[in-house]
Amino acid sequence: MIAYIKLFYDLVGPKLLVLLAVMQLAAIVEGFGISLILPIIQGDQGSESRLATIIDWGFDLISLTPNLTNTLVVLVVFFAIRGALLIAQSWYQSRVLARNLTGMRVGFATAIASAEYEYLSRQDTGVLSNVMSVEIERVNFALSQLLGLMVATTTAIVYIGIALLIAPVVTIFLAVLVLPIAVIMLFLNRLTSRASLQLTDGSNKQQSVFLEMLRNMKYLKSTGRSIPVVRRVVMESRRVGDAYRRLSFLQGATSYGLEPFIVLVLASVIYFFTEVRGANVLEILFLLFVFRTAAVNLVATQPAYRKFISATGSMRVYRELRSKLEDNKEPDSSSNPVPDFTSGVSLKNVTYIYPGQDAPSVNNLSLSIPAKSTVAFVGPSGSGKSTTANILASLLSPTSGEVLMGDQVYEDVNVEQLRENVGYVTQESVVFNASLKDNILLWQEEQIDQSRLDEVIAKTGLNKVRGTHQDDETLGDGGTALSGGERQRLSIARELYWESELLILDEATSSVDSMLEKQIDEVIKNQRGTKTIIVIAHRLSTVRDADVIFVFEDGKIAESGSFEELVKAGGLFSNMAKLQSF
C-alpha cells in the first residue's frame, strides 16, 4: 500500500497533499457543524461533556449566545463552508486526475521512444499496447479510489474524535466490538488483491493473443486456419472473465455484507447503555448517530480500498514496466558533437551477440564505407547483413569493437542528430493509418517543401495513389488500402523527401515486380553521389552498379569488391551469380 501511495506521489507530486489538506478541512468543518446538533437536542438539559465545553468556548470566541437561533445560523454557515470546500475539492481532483491520465500516457509513450531498440525488440507488443490503453486507465482509476478512500477516512476520523469527546467509554466499547469486522476485511482485501493480479496478467495475455490474430489474419483466413487461433483467444477471454467475476463478487459481497453487523453492534450499544446503565437517551442516540456516520464512512473506505487494491495488478505492471524502460533508456548524447557524414563510416573489429544467444550474429567484422558512396551487402539469409545495417543506424550497440564516423566513435557523437540524417527502408513497409501526405511528412506542419513533396511522389510512381485518395483520406491500418508495391514505394518516397545523409535499403524492392523494381532502381541511381547508400539485397541485379559489394557469410566478410571483380573471383558471390539470371 505504501509503495503504491509513493507511486502516486511520484506521479502527482505535492498536489496529493493539497487535496488531502482540503479533504481534512472539509471533514473538520462538517464535524463541527454536526456537533452543533447536540446542544439543540439537549435543550435546557445541558451537558458536561468535553464536546459541549468546546462548543461553548467557540460561541464565546465569536461573542454569541449559544441559543437556538444562533446555533442554527452557525450550523448553516458551517455547512455552506463545507459545501464550498467540497466543490473546490471536486474541481481540483478532476483536474489532477485528468492531468495524471494524460501525463502517464505521454510519459509511457516517451519512455518507449527513449528506450534502447534492443530492449524494445524483445518486448511483447500486446503487453505494451494493453498497458497504454487499459492498465494506465486502471492506475488512474486507482488514484481516484485512493482519493475517495482519503475522504472517507478523514471524515471517519473526525467523527470518531467527536464521539470520544462526547463519551470516551462508549466509543472504546464500540471500537472493541468492531474489531472482528476489521479482521474479516483484511482477509477479503488479500483475496481481492490476488484476484486483481490474475485479472491484469490475463488481460495482458489476452491482448497479446488478440493482436497476433489481427496481424496474421490474411494468412489465417486464406488458409482456413483461423478456428484454432480464435479458440485460443476465446480461452484467454474466458480466463479474464473468470478473474473479473471473482473480483466483482468480492467487491459486492464486502460492500453489502457488513451493514447487518454494524446495525447489530449499534442496537446492542443502545440496549446496554440505556436499559442496563441508565444513560441519557438523547445523548446516546446522538452519539450513535455520530458513530453510525463514522461507521458509514469506515464502511465506505472498504469499497474504495477494495477497488483500489483491485488495480494493484495494473499498478504493479505499470510501475515495473516504467522502471525497466528507465533502466534501458538510451544515454543522453545531446551535448556531444554533431556527426560529420562527410568522413564516411566504418566498423572496427565489431562483434554482436543477440541476448539469449551464444553464437555471434556479427563476428569480429571490419569494413569501411566512404562518404557518398553506394555499397551493397549480399549473402545468405542470417549471415549478418541486417544486423550490420542496424549497428550502422545506431539501433544496436556492438558487444565489442567500435563503430566510427570518421575518427569519432558513435558513443561520442550526437546520436539524435545522427538518426535524423539516416533513412531506412526495411523489408516491412512502414505505413501509418493516415493520409499519403502525412505518411511522407510524418505530420510535419512547418517548413513543408511542397515542390519536393510533389517530386518524390511523382518519382516513386505514387501519383495514382494520390489521384484515387483524397488529401485527408487514410491509407488503412498498415496500409491495407495499398498494394505491397505501393507500400514499399511510399517508404522510399518518405526517405527521399527527408534527404538523409545515410540511406539504408534493406530488401527495398523485394515485394515489387521487375518493371517497378527497375523504376525504383533508377530513382535510387539518381541519388548516387549525393548521399551514402547501403543496399541489402538477395537479387544481385539490384547491386550491379554498387561501388563496393561486401559478401557476408556466418557474420563475417567473405569477400568484397566490384560486381565484375567478384564474379571473376570464383568465390561465394560468383556461385550466387550463377544461380540468378540478369
C-alpha cell at 275: 436499559
Q: Which residue, among 486, 498, 491, 488, has the nearest Cα to 444 in the 3D structure?
A: 498
Q: Which residue, among 149, 148, 175, has the nearest Cα to 160 in the 3D structure?
A: 175
| pLDDT for the residue numbered 369 | 94
Architecture per CATH, domain 341-578, reads as 3-Layer(aba) Sandwich (3.40)
| pLDDT for the residue numbered 280 | 63
Q: Which residue, among 378, 479, 481, 501, has the nearest Cα to 429 in the 3D structure?
A: 479
Q: How many CB atoms lie within 10 A of CB 410?
A: 20
CB 376 within 8 A of CB 535: yes
Supply φ then ψ for residue 86, to 5 degrees: -70, -35
CA distance 209 to 478: 19
Residue 367 forms beta bridges with which residues? 347
| pLDDT for the residue numbered 292 | 67
| pLDDT for the residue numbered 282 | 63
Which part of the chain is CATH 1.20.1560.10? 2-327
CA distance 118 to 110: 16
| pLDDT for the residue numbered 389 | 93
Instruction: Give the contacts of 105 (CB within 8 A, at least 6 positions apart).
Output: 132, 136
| pLDDT for the residue numbered 582 | 56
CA distance 360 to 354: 7
CA distance 553 to 562: 17
Using CA atoms, how far residue 315 sits from 244, 265, 389, in Å, is 17, 36, 38
The pTM for the full model equals: 0.73
CA distance 582 to 576: 12
From first to last of its 582 residues, what are the pLDDT tens digits of the chain? 677 677 777 888 888 888 888 887 887 787 777 777 766 665 555 555 565 666 777 777 778 777 778 878 888 888 888 888 888 888 888 888 898 889 889 999 999 989 998 998 888 888 888 888 888 988 888 888 888 888 778 877 877 777 777 767 767 776 776 677 777 777 777 777 778 778 878 888 888 888 778 777 766 765 676 787 888 888 888 888 888 888 778 767 666 666 677 677 777 777 776 676 666 666 666 666 777 677 667 666 766 777 777 777 888 888 889 999 999 998 999 899 998 888 899 999 999 999 888 899 999 999 999 999 999 999 998 899 999 999 999 999 999 999 999 889 999 999 989 988 998 888 777 888 888 888 888 888 777 888 888 888 888 888 888 878 777 788 887 777 888 778 888 888 888 888 889 999 888 766 666 666 777 777 778 888 889 999 998 888 888 889 999 999 999 999 999 999 999 998 999 998 888 765
| pLDDT for the residue numbered 329 | 92
* Assigned CATH class of 2-327: mainly alpha
List b or e across 68-91, with b for residues whose CB sees 16 or more CB atoms inside 10 angstroms.
eeebeebbeebbebbeebbeebee
Which part of the chain is CATH 3.40.50.300? 341-578
